[in-house]
Amino acid sequence: MNKGKQLYWVDVGLAISFILCFITGIFKWPTLYKYFFSWPMKQISIIHDWSGLIMGLLVLIHLIQHWKWIVVMTKKMWWKND
């Protein structure tokens, strides 16, 4: 698989895991859960925890994939010779 496809799939995974984590995080608010949702809290918590863990791992992979760019941009932003 070429690098462009790898980056694409990591970003898709990040988007999906972020959406799951964000939505389940909202569902876990006691006030909202009590009045609007009927899913068992245990299922919501499992989805929230796993999507958060997957998102964290994908962010790490994403940073590794972009490390050279991050270093170059950091040097440009902080150590300019003006």
Tell me whether residue 1 is in a domain: no
CA distance 70 to 64: 9
The structure tokens listed for 63 are 């940073």
Tell me whether residue 73 is in a domain: no
Tell me whether residue 20 is in a domain: yes
Tell me whether residue 22 is in a domain: yes
In terms of residue numbers, what domain contains 53?
11-65
Tell me whether residue 29 is in a domain: yes
Tell me whether residue 60 is in a domain: yes
pTM: 0.78
Tell me whether residue 45 is in a domain: yes
Q: What is the pLDDT of residues 15-31, one digit of tens each?
A: 999 999 999 998 888 77
Sequence-distant (≥ 6) Cβ neighbours of residue 56 within 8 angstroms: none
Domains in the chain, number: 1
Q: Are 65 and 7 in contact (CB under 8 A)?
A: yes
Grouped pLDDT means (10 residues each) for the chain, 82 residues:
90 96 88 73 92 97 93 86 58
